[in-house]
Chains A and B, each alone.
Chain A
Amino acid sequence: MTSFPKTLNENPLEKQDRSNIAVSCHKITKEFGSGDTKVQVLRGVNAEISFGEMSLLVGPSGCGKTTLISIICGLLDPTEGDLFVLNENVGKMSGRKKTAFRSQNVGFVFQQYNLLPALTAEENAAIPLVISGMKKRQAVARAAEVLNQVGLGNKLKSLPSQLSGGQQQRVAIARALVHNPRLLVCDEPTAALDAKSGQTVMELLTQVGRQKDRAVIVVTHDSRVYKFGDRIIEMNDGLIERVVFPKIDGSPYHAEG
């Protein structure tokens, strides 16, 4: 297993222009349950994620990664703390506003793809556009363009069951990108894939996801993908233990495997 460097706790980006910050978490806590069954999953998380970066959120199971990205993309409310996503105070938004915010600004890539089995690749990829009110025909045409970009131009009419795991994940990526979201949230995108497919998916995410005005957060256990990260946020026991910038610091995260 890759060991984390001990000397890279500081965030060099903090000295940079703040307008480049896509996500800013300040003392975020999250508790589940009440009374004796109360569990504190996040215990005051401070983190920032910049545009143009591929940020990896890593750490052992149960450390709070999923809870943190759920809060960042507005699927969960923090118990305490301030959260700004794309300069919006997401923590203070109403449920309906959060739903609208997600549909406009966030793209999701899930571990199990979560494609609708009855819809073709292009229809699945068109869903975010349909949610935003676009007509089906236009949405599907736009989805076909994005599927072309991810190398699935010949699989537009295929059902998920007719695609391999890697191809399904590429459809999911097309779905996540089709409405040009500024924040891309990927939950273990390579966990269900073999090494080659995982490599392809990460290359694709790096290629299409890492743009000047877009931030990408990838939650992963897969050490093989660490080399794709611009910023690696290591969590443990509800806290951010350290943040590493491998490309700036030349850390061992860029070593193969």
Chain B
Amino acid sequence: MIWIAWKMLTGDKAKYAGITFGIAFASMLISHQVSIFVGIMSRTTALITNVEEGEIFVMDPTVRQADEVIGLPNTALQRVRSIEGVKWAVKLSRANVRARLPDSPNNSVNGDFRGVILIGLDDSTLVGAPRQLLAGQVEDLKKPDAVIIDEAGYFYLFPGQKPQVGQIIELTDRRAEIVGICVVRQPFQSQPIFYTRYNQALQYTPPERRLLSYVVVEPQEGIAPETLAKKISEETGLQALTREQFKQKTIQFYLQNTGIPFNFGITVMLGFIVGVAIAGQTFYLFVLENIKQFGALKAMGFGNLKIVGMILIQALIVGVIGYSLGLGGTTLFFTATQGAIPLKGFTLLWQVMVLTAVAVSVIVVLASLLSIRKVLVLEPGVVFR
């Protein structure tokens, strides 16, 4: 039976290609757009992800997402440290500052200004410093005016130049020397990220009463981060969230307050609808053109179950091939753009593959439903008319 279904399907090459294309198109659009969406959403939590030490972030109670900086009083650090169960707690600042690029005849952005993100790390422990460096060392941050820039930021600020340390720039009119180039997750706004010591960051940040953005906390062994976070909140009145809670809160903010999910949702929905429309219509036409043959099969003793089985096998075949082609296209895209800095971090996750498989399954089932109905209600006597 399977071979008959397969031959019937592939015998009409134009329709076979049409159905497969419809599903491949839908599969590629869905997997691609969902991957980009997931990539963008994960960028919103870049600050949290890039700090690899510490399980809890303590912040102002009104903070809604990671990049919304509302300064804490310096006393917040001591208050948090005094709470039982805290193994250690350190300062972390995040600020938007202005960078001025060097005057250099070789620099295509000669003397230009750029907005950048400045992360101030605890001076003694450097908690939150990047782990992967392309050039320089984290310890070099202890030098005067030292900053580490992220790879993408270097690409944006010094386009076309090979990554090299020793570049001198100005941050809020003060000298800064790039002592390292690191690889970290890019932020939502695709701005360059500079790392420096907390006290150095104070020099680079425009005068403000409160510059402490976060207190990063590590709980003592045996204490659940959720429990300690709750305790810190209760005892200090500050907002304390575990790493995962903070990520969820941030993503939730972007989902609720931006048009991003809506826009991507529309694209994904369009992919789904186009997939159903192309595959469904072509599949229906395919069945309609073979209706006499299906009638003949029914007359000869093919039961409804077998006919439905044949149609579902045909749907499964085009579904699997279309899905593979679509996913192949998406994989090809992400492989081809792997080296492109603006798209760094965007990948095809297995969860997206599963989601796409589910969507494709729904598409082929919907596409074949109409055809199945047509064949089920078909009187085998039609062959005599």
Contact = CB atoms under 8 A, between A and B. Distances in A.
Contact of A66 (B8, B297, B385): B385
B302 A131 contact: yes
Contacts of B381: 66, 70, 75-76
A255 interface: no
Contact of A103 (B4, B12, B301, B385): B301
Interface stretch (A6-14, A112-120, A149-157): A112-120
A128 B11 contact: no
A132 B303 CA distance: 11
Interface in A181-220: 187, 219
Contacts of A99: 298, 301-303
Contact of A128 (B292, B301, B380): B301
Contacts of A187: 383-384
Nearest to A76: B381
B350 interface: no
Which of B4, B300, B379 has the most C-beta atoms of chain A within 10 angstroms of its own C-beta?
B300
Contacts of A106: 300
B340 interface: no
Nearest to A75: B381
B277 interface: no
A79 B7 CA distance: 39
A141 interface: no
B77 interface: no
B296 interface: yes
Which of B3, B299, B302, B384 has the most C-beta atoms of chain A within 10 angstroms of its own C-beta?
B384
Interface string A149-172: 000000000000000000000000
Given A66-B384, A117-B11, A108 B299 contact: yes
Given A75-B379, A108-B383, A130 B7 contact: no
Interface string B348-384: 0000000000000000000000000000000111011
A116 B293 contact: yes
Nearest to B385: A66
A114 B383 contact: yes
B7 A118 contact: yes
A13 to B, nearest CB: 26
Interface string A69-99: 1100101100000000000000000001001
Contact of A131 (B7, B11, B293, B300): B300
Given A96-B303, A131-B300, A112 B292 contact: yes
Given A75-B381, A187-B384, A108 B303 contact: no
B297 to A, nearest CB: 7
B307 to A, nearest CB: 11
A116 B380 contact: no
Contact of A114 (B12, B296, B303, B306): B296
Contact of B7 (A75, A114, A116, A128): A116
B1 interface: yes
A102 B11 contact: no
A39 interface: no
Interface in B324-345: none
A239 interface: no
A249 B297 CA distance: 39
B63 to A, nearest CB: 64
A108 B380 CA distance: 12
B7 A123 contact: yes
A212 B292 CA distance: 32
B301 A118 contact: no
A118 B299 CA distance: 19
B383 A104 contact: no
Contacts of A114: 292-293, 295-296, 383
Contacts of B302: 99, 103, 131
Interface in B192-223: none
Contacts of B292: 112, 114
B300 A127 contact: yes
Contacts of A119: 4, 7-8, 11
B10 interface: yes
A188 B299 CA distance: 16
A247 interface: no
A130 B303 contact: no
B300 A108 contact: yes
A117 B301 CA distance: 19
Contacts of B3: 136
Contact of A127 (B295, B297, B303): B297
A69 B306 CA distance: 24
Contacts of A66: 381, 384-385
B300 A116 contact: no
A75 B295 CA distance: 10
B384 A102 contact: no
Nearest to A96: B303
A102 B302 CA distance: 9
Interface of B: 1, 3-4, 7-12, 290, 292-293, 295-303, 306, 379-381, 383-385
Interface of A: 66, 69-70, 73, 75-76, 96, 99-100, 102-104, 106, 108, 110, 112, 114-119, 123, 127-128, 130-132, 136, 187, 219
Given A75-B380, A110-B384, A116-B11, 4 more contacts: A99-B301, A118-B10, A119-B7, A127-B297
4 tightest Cβ-Cβ pairs between the two chains A and B: A118-B11, A103-B301, A114-B296, A75-B381
